[in-house]
Chains A and B, each alone.
Chain A
């Protein structure tokens, strides 16, 4: 039976929104005229199902390896739990799911590598969509005091330190013979430089010394500061800095140099 009390537009939209998100759909269903041969509850469910399907699809697109590992049923359940607790706040559907790695970890604590994998997939998406700045021509740089140099890196480059070695797992996600590595292989930290060049996204696996030097440089510090950070660690070795210097130039991820 339809409730004949006429509501304002904002009241209707708030009620409709709540129904779609699973909050008191019955209340909204009392105030609509269902279409087709649907009853009011089924009608509201059409919109609710669509909402869940779209957000699940967005999560699946970002976290496709998590999906592959868990399989359809488990992934859809994980996604539904996430959607229940996390509203979408952006008009851009692909923005959805920034805290999905934490959510995955809380539901699968016995498989801690899943958090690392989810974090990797989130960063991969960021790099995929980021702006690719033109590489700096080092011939234009003043190299008289190289230790004073600091770098600006392209927006499409990111560093990521993971507690687990998940790159090979991620890299084989589309293969038919996708096999989960053993715990011993997974339970080793791994550090990555993800970057995009000419619209192709790459991943370099870094040693920990390389990672801490690059991290310092990414933070805008000078080469001298990065060397000091390295020397203060157990990995002090100046040769690494010049190797990293050459590497980042070669990779084309430096878009500005200042001294």
Chain B
């Protein structure tokens, strides 16, 4: 993992390809790409990613490593991811603390699982295997959840810290996901955020959810909500040199609008830094 990228990035989305490739003005300092979109393709999207990489640092963010799958991580998946990593040289490789495949069937979702000793041992084993195979540290992201399990015995924040401690992986702390899960499951977001050890935080995600009335739904389809900005400000002290990303995956607006969110994140952190240091 390259520690030199500390600024503010946005997701690389096809809606913005033309602007970026035509050397349009870009305020974002780096881009995040979904690994699976490029692992099996040599078409135009991969060509665009290579072109973007010539100008900007790129983070590769996966959704299918299935690090908590009882069936283990797919060797074919790791092989293809490793090939992509060697072509793109990302400053971060990340995925999620979740599972999505069982019995050779893939569900294409970030599925929760009970947090207990059994799953902790499994996740530690899978993360170690993935890092050994890839030859590098990875970051693991907390996901938004809509249910929990009676089998859970460990709080998610302790689980994440323990995985990081035992494997040397980093954490991709998604502040929006913390908030969504906290509201849905009824815990205090700040307890979660305060408990995550600063030394493990490798990246921050911010995004906008949808309020469905009966639950919060992690849609990444709108600006960051006010409550999430407050939480972000709450943890600024321990993320002063951590890259921050604005995630916007659905109903994607113009590049400028997404960048405005990134610049807002920058302003909040700069203000915190100036007030503390001065």
CB of A148 to closest CB in B, whole Å = 31
Contact B102 A91 (CB under 8 A): no
Contact A129 B40 (CB under 8 A): yes
Is A178 located at the chain interface by the 8 A CB criterion? Answer: no
Is B31 located at the chain interface by the 8 A CB criterion? Answer: no
Contact B39 A92 (CB under 8 A): yes
- Chain A residue contacts of B47, Cβ below 8 A: 199
Q: How many residues belonging to A are interface residues under a CB distance threshold of 8 Å?
A: 50
A13's partner among B69, B181, B183 (CB-CB below 8 A) is B69
CB of A16 to closest CB in B, whole Å = 6
Q: A38-B215, A47-B109 are in contact. Are A131 and B118 (CB under 8 A)?
A: no
Contact B113 A2 (CB under 8 A): no
Taking CB as reference atom, which chain B residue is nearest A8?
A: B118
Contact A13 B102 (CB under 8 A): yes
- Chain A residue contacts of B69, Cβ below 8 A: 13
| 1/0 contact string of A76-100 vs chain B (CB within 8 Å) | 0000000000011111111100000
Taking CB as reference atom, which chain A residue is nearest B100?
A: A91
Interface centre among B42, B47, B104, B107 (most CB of A within 10 A): B107
- Chain A residue contacts of B212, Cβ below 8 A: 36
Task: Report the bound CA distance from A10 to B69 in whole Å.
Answer: 8
Taking CB as reference atom, which chain B residue is nearest A28?
A: B147
Task: Report the bound CA distance from A90 to B147 in whole Å.
Answer: 26
Is A55 located at the chain interface by the 8 A CB criterion? Answer: yes
Taking CB as reference atom, which chain A residue is nearest B181?
A: A35
- Chain B residue contacts of A128, Cβ below 8 A: 43-44
B105's partner among A31, A35, A89 (CB-CB below 8 A) is A89
Q: A33-B148, A47-B146 are in contact. Are A92 and B36 (CB under 8 A)?
A: yes
Is A12 located at the chain interface by the 8 A CB criterion? Answer: yes
Contact A12 B183 (CB under 8 A): no
Contact B108 A6 (CB under 8 A): no
Contact A199 B43 (CB under 8 A): yes
Q: How many residues belonging to B are interface residues under a CB distance threshold of 8 Å?
A: 49
Contact A2 B150 (CB under 8 A): yes
Q: A17-B102, A91-B74 are in contact. Are A43 and B41 (CB under 8 A)?
A: no
**Which residues, 199 to 238 on A, are CB-close (under 8 Å) to B?**
199
Contact A91 B64 (CB under 8 A): yes
Contact B109 A20 (CB under 8 A): yes
- Chain A residue contacts of B43, Cβ below 8 A: 128-130, 196, 199
Contact A12 B109 (CB under 8 A): no
Contact A35 B184 (CB under 8 A): yes
Is A34 located at the chain interface by the 8 A CB criterion? Answer: yes
B103's partner among A17, A31, A156 (CB-CB below 8 A) is A17
Contact A91 B114 (CB under 8 A): no
Contact B146 A14 (CB under 8 A): no
A51's partner among B66, B99, B107, B119 (CB-CB below 8 A) is B107
- For this complex, 27 residue pairs linking A to B, each with C-beta atoms less than 8 Å apart, are A4-B150, A6-B151, A9-B70, A9-B114, A9-B118, A9-B119, A9-B122, A10-B71, A14-B103, A16-B111, A20-B109, A32-B150, A36-B214, A37-B213, A38-B147, A46-B146, A54-B109, A89-B105, A89-B106, A91-B101, A91-B106, A92-B40, A92-B64, A94-B41, A129-B42, A155-B42, A199-B47
Instruction: List the interface of chain A (C-beta within 8 A of B).
Output: 2, 4, 6-10, 12-14, 16-17, 20-21, 31-38, 40, 42-44, 46-47, 50-51, 54-55, 87-95, 128-132, 155-156, 196, 199
